């Protein structure tokens, strides 16, 4: 913790591949002071910089209270940032753990041209041990400014495999049915949708939406939980119809 970290890290991967969850879990488990900003919510450079400073105040304050912050320029941000890190509460900790910035990075391309290069070398500008972590669904080459900038350390999060998805989705089984019964249902669902949809959130939505239809023969007493052939024949037309409108939410 006393060593300087890489100034900026760029993590990219498809949606629902665990980027944000892994970073949140890592920072929480290791109890690292951090600032977490969503650039979709704070969509202008002023809102973004002020929110970072406000959260930094709460990290350095024992009471968690914050005061209004006005930050119009990047120079103001660097000055106020260094002042916040100079507080006694943060001096008692290793500077590396003070601020890890996790930004939904696509929005940065729409802001002023100096914002992204400044975040990439914030450690140099502030002379403090701070690491900026950028989360994105697109590759770094689409962000790189034409004028050049500090190159971040890049890390790729691959999509979940079908085995990973089966394991994750099977954890949501309803208590009134056995885990094996729900796992068999998830296998059928992934067999239909995996080739057209690998978004974990969408698959979880589809699983919850269609499970009642899958259970109908069991509820009516026409089949038991092991009659996978009857259960498949009952739900197959419904799943094929739902597959035509994945992401559109037209099948309910």
Please check whether residues 122 and 52 belong to one and the same domain. yes
Q: Across all residues in the chain, what is the average pLDDT?
A: 80
Percent of the chain clearing pLDDT 90 (strictly above): 14
Q: DSSP letter string over 48-100?
A: HHHHHHHHHHHHH-SS---------SHHHHHHHHHHHHTSHHHHTS-GGGT-E
Mean per-residue pLDDT, 97-117: 60
Least confident range of 79-88, 172-181, 229-238: 79-88
Mean per-residue pLDDT, 235-246: 80
Find out whether 74 and 114 touch, Cβ atoms under 8 Å: yes
The answer on pLDDT for 143 being more than 60 is: yes
Residue carrying the six token digits 């350095």: 60
The answer on pLDDT for 122 being more than 70 is: yes
Distance CA(202)–CA(110), nearest Å, equals 28
Please check whether residues 127 and 90 belong to one and the same domain. yes
The model's pTM: 0.78
The answer on pLDDT for 200 being more than 80 is: yes
- Determine the pLDDT at residue 100: 37
The answer on pLDDT for 172 being more than 70 is: yes
Q: What are phi and psi of 221, to 5 degrees?
A: 80, 15
40 lies in a domain? Answer: yes
Give 163's pLDDT tier (boundaries 50, 70, 90). very high
Pairing relation of β-strands 35-37 and 100-104?
parallel
Which H or E run includes 209?
helix 200-219
Please check whether residues 139 and 231 belong to one and the same domain. no
Counted domains in the chain: 2
Higher-pLDDT residue of 104 and 123 is 123
249 lies in a domain? Answer: no
Please check whether residues 237 and 186 belong to one and the same domain. yes
The answer on pLDDT for 221 being more than 80 is: yes
CATH assignment at residue 147: 3.40.50.300
Least confident range of 131-140, 205-214, 239-248: 239-248
Distance CA(245)–CA(220), nearest Å, equals 28
Highest mean pLDDT among 82-91, 108-117, 185-194: 185-194
Please check whether residues 73 and 191 belong to one and the same domain. no
Q: How far is CA 191 from the centre of its chain?
A: 26
Please check whether residues 103 and 179 belong to one and the same domain. no
Please check whether residues 170 and 142 belong to one and the same domain. no
Please check whether residues 193 and 94 belong to one and the same domain. no
Residue 73: which domain range?
8-156
Q: Which residues contact 72 (CB under 8 A, 6 or more apart)?
A: 46
Please check whether residues 55 and 176 belong to one and the same domain. no
Of 126, 156, 186, the residue that ends a domain is: 156
Q: What is the pLDDT of residues 146-161, one digit of tens each?
A: 777 889 999 999 989 9
3 lies in a domain? Answer: no
Of 89, 123, 156, the residue that ends a domain is: 156
Task: Determine whether 162 is exposed, middle or buried from the number of CB atoms within 10 Å of its CB (0-12, 13-18, 19+).
Answer: middle
Please check whether residues 25 and 148 belong to one and the same domain. yes
217 lies in a domain? Answer: yes
Mean per-residue pLDDT, 210-214: 89
Give 63's pLDDT tier (boundaries 50, 70, 90). low
Please check whether residues 40 and 63 belong to one and the same domain. yes
Distance CA(50)–CA(104), nearest Å, equals 16
Helix (H, G, I), strand (E, B) or coil at 32: coil
The encoded tokens of residue 206 equal: 């589809």
38 lies in a domain? Answer: yes
- Determine the pLDDT at residue 250: 53
Distance CA(195)–CA(192), nearest Å, equals 7
Please check whether residues 13 and 105 belong to one and the same domain. yes
């Amino acid at each position: 913790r006393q060593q300087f970290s890489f100034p900026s890290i760029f993590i990219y991967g498809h949606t629902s591949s665990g980027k944000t969850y892994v970073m949140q879990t890592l920072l929480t488990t290791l109890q690292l002071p951090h600032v977490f900003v969503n650039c979709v919510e704070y969509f202008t450079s002023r809102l973004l910089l002020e929110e970072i400073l406000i959260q930094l105040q709460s990290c350095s304050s024992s009471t968690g209270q914050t005061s209004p912050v006005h930050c119009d320029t990047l120079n103001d941000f660097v000055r106020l940032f260094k002042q916040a890190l100079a507080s006694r509460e943060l001096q008692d900790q290793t500077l590396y753990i003070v601020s890890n910035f996790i930004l939904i990075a696509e929005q940065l391309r729409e802001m002023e041209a100096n914002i992204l290069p400044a975040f990439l070398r914030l450690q140099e500008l502030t002379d403090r041990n701070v690491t900026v972590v950028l989360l994105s669904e697109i590759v770094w080459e689409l962000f790189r400014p034409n004028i050049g900038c500090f190159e971040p350390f890049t890390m790729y999060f691959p999509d979940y495999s079908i085995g990973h998805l089966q394991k994750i989705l099977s954890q949501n089984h309803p208590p009134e049915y056995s885990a094996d019964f729900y796992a068999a249902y998830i296998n059928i669902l992934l067999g239909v949708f995996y080739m057209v949809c690998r978004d974990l959130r969408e698959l979880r939505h589809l699983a919850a939406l269609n499970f009642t239809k899958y259970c109908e023969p069991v509820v009516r007493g026409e089949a038991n939980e092991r009659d996978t052939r009857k259960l498949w024949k009952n739900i197959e037309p419904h799943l094929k119809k739902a597959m035509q409108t994945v992401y559109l939410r037209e099948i309910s």
